[in-house]
Chains A and B, each alone.
Chain A
Amino acid sequence: MSERLHEKLEILADAAKYDVSCSSSGSKRKNHNKGLGEATGSGICHTYTEDGRCVSLLKILLTNHCIFDCAYCVTRKSNDIKRAAFTVQEVVDLTMNFYRRNYIEGLFLSSGIFKNANYTMERLVSVAKKLRTENKFNGYIHLKTIPGASDELMHEAGLWADRLSVNIEIPTESGLKLLAPDKNIKDMIEPMTYLKKEIIRTKEESKIFKSAPLFAPAGQSTQMIIGASGESDKDIMHTANKFYKGFNLKRVYYSGYVPISNDNRLPGLGSAVPVLRENRLYQTDWLMRFYGFHVQELLNDQFPNLDPEIDPKLSWALRNMAFFPVDVNTADLQLILRVPGIGVQSAQKIVGARRFNKLGWDHLKKIGIALNRAKYFITCNSPITDRKDYTEAKIRQFILNESRSKFLTNGGQQYNLFG
């Protein structure tokens, strides 16, 4: 019996791993009934895979049987692979026993679509319900919502889960039509719209009634596959921006396409996973959410793609040298945040510390800013300065020279700097 369970876990964990979301943060579920678990903190990565990704949740498919034939998906119906399905009880037992041993923060349950959307969604919901009610489980639950499932089921999912997500998968509508002929954008947008409405409504309710039930307290997220449909970075980030603004999404995930077939609509087997591009997209995402950048400043018709060699903030700074130098001892926080090499925490530290004494290079270094980049863009309490009216090309060259070795070891397999 345990052999069959091992085999199911192998197949259904393997099929779920291309979903990169693993976040277990943003909820506020307490262990209110002296049961098992809680989901109040910022989430814990309990281990990391050998590819360096965080393992926080038990991420599995309920089944990899699927009636759809999306080209980019390993479980597409035309793919000749082993199929398996967990029972509801098996998923519950795995989650409880992994959680009790402190292996995981909770469950991320997704599924191939069998029979139809509602039938599939119903099974996902029943796992979550069983965990919450029969097992008093208060750990984190992330459910994938199946495009086209009914509002009633979406509502019930929201009552038991901390986070819900609909994966948009392909950033452009034309790409989606080409690669996922069974799916349509409307079926994805509708549940997002419904969830947004419900999340807002229940939040309002809980302001009036303290006892109002939680509804997807960690909000909703989505994922886009990167590099499968020839889209530009601008396409991706403008779509992401629309989702953040229009649907109050908590997170958009970017998943570099891992070649899984020789379908001629897609990059073939053996082509590299665009890991560096993925990284640049996440940096851009962070700049939009935490640094006060508008997507248009970073990616537009003139600059539709990110620079692989340097990070997007540095890239923006070099295009906008008129903003600099920023005087760290007097400038607003918003301006300091725009300096390459200064992160959110360092920026806040600078603003706190400069009330006591004017900050010089030594202070800045100890606070932890990356001077090798920042020094070209700031002035501080020191006569020595590295701003000698260098051209942007020169600055770029200086910075690249200092960090070249890193690029060669990490990004070398994708971008040939001398090519």
Chain B
Amino acid sequence: MEVSNTIFSDKPVIVSYDGTWYGLLTAVFDAYSKKWNVSGFSVIDRESQSDFFAEKVVVVTDEAKAQRVWLGLKKKVPKENCIQLYRCYLSEIAGIELTIFSCIKFYFSGFDSPHLAYGNPDVLKVNQTSKMVYREKHRMEAFVRFQRTADDLYYAGIEPDFNVIPLLNEHFAERYADQNWLIYDIKRKYGIYYDQNKVEEITLDFSNDAGAKTSVKDVFHDSETLYQELWQNYFKNVNIPSRRNIKLHVQHVPKRYWKHLIEKK
């Protein structure tokens, strides 16, 4: 593998980047400016399907190049449509980078208001994927359940389908400005912590704490059990049994989220 600038434009290439958003934008910059015939993207050190007929190029993340793509986009389409591309990236869906690349290329192709071209398959795909990620973000804003610990931290574990943590800090920092909180993605092993001042990305090492046999009583605040039970009780009593509609209930609160929802335990 080598960084190459001498690719013939008709030869298909797989663009390899470091998996970050800036990395992807850098890759878009190089591929676009050097007119590569991109057949796919892959993340360095991550296994991916190989394409024997395509050459592999490694792109070195360059913030300046990434910024140029981002600022250029902002001139072509509304901010919401730029953010849509970022949300697609967070979906981690296999092959989504190629859709993002094709969509950006179309946005730069000179049409007036290109983001409204819902007849274009890439624009439509970006719209729909972004919507899925946005919905997951919205669900996390709804389904996060903080538990107050003995040292006054409000902790919530989540396992979202998509990597939505980067989309959550603003909402929670604004809303829970006067309490320390931590939202942790158990699947992706990182989270965001707020100390009433700023939000930080953190990773936790559970190996020590989890091993030690601390009882729930020691970990959580004295009032925690009371409020969890009151909430469960409330949830039970606002239901109207004669209107029971479990299908609708499960549609709104899919089962995969239940294990972190106090009221569904």
A366 within 8 A of B: yes
B64 within 8 A of A: no
Q: Which residues of A contact B247 (CB under 8 A)?
A: 52
The residue in B117, B119, B230 that gathers the most chain A C-beta atoms within 10 A of its C-beta is B119
A295 within 8 A of B: no
Task: Encode contact with A along B233-264: 1 for CB under 8 Å, 0 otherwise.
Answer: 11101111111111111011100000001111
Q: Is the CB of B177 within 8 A of A34?
A: yes
Q: How far is the CB of B182 from chain A (nearest CB, A)?
A: 13
Q: How far is the CB of A56 from chain B (nearest CB, A)?
A: 9
B111 within 8 A of A: yes
Cα(A101)–Cα(B142), bound, Å: 11
Please give 16 more A-B residue pairs, beta carbons under 8 A apart, in addition to A9-B230, A53-B240, A353-B117.
A5-B230, A9-B237, A16-B238, A17-B238, A31-B174, A35-B177, A37-B175, A44-B138, A44-B141, A52-B249, A102-B144, A136-B178, A275-B243, A353-B116, A353-B119, A356-B120
| Given the contacts A97-B227, A103-B145, A17 and B240 also touching, CB distance less than 8 Å | yes
Cα(A59)–Cα(B248), bound, Å: 21
Q: Which residues of B contact A30 (CB under 8 A)?
A: 174
Q: Is the CB of B231 within 8 A of A103?
A: yes
Q: Which residues of B contact A355 (CB under 8 A)?
A: 113, 116
B interface residues (Cβ-Cβ under 8 A, vs A):
111, 113, 116-120, 124, 138, 141-148, 154, 156, 174-179, 223, 226-227, 229-231, 233-235, 237-249, 251-253, 261-264
Cα(A20)–Cα(B245), bound, Å: 16
Q: How far is the CB of A232 from chain B (nearest CB, A)?
A: 23
Size bracket of the A interface: 35 or more
From B118, B244, B261, give the contact of A51 (CB < 8 A). Answer: B244
Q: Is the CB of A58 within 8 A of B146?
A: no
Task: Encode contact with B along A25-55: 1 for CB under 8 Å, 0 otherwise.
Answer: 0000011001111100000111111111111
Q: How far is the CB of B143 from chain A (nearest CB, A)?
A: 7
A363 within 8 A of B: yes
Q: Which residues of B contact A38 (CB under 8 A)?
A: 174-175
Cα(A53)–Cα(B119), bound, Å: 36
Q: Is the CB of B124 within 8 A of A48?
A: no
Q: How far is the CB of B172 from chain A (nearest CB, A)?
A: 8
A288 within 8 A of B: no
Question: Which chain B residue has the least Cβ–Cβ distance from A5?
Answer: B230
A98 within 8 A of B: yes
A273 within 8 A of B: yes
Q: How far is the CB of A417 from chain B (nearest CB, A)?
A: 20
For this complex, 19 residue pairs linking A to B, each with C-beta atoms less than 8 Å apart, are: A9-B230, A36-B178, A37-B176, A38-B174, A46-B143, A47-B253, A47-B261, A48-B248, A48-B253, A50-B245, A51-B239, A101-B145, A258-B242, A349-B118, A352-B113, A353-B119, A356-B117, A357-B117, A363-B118
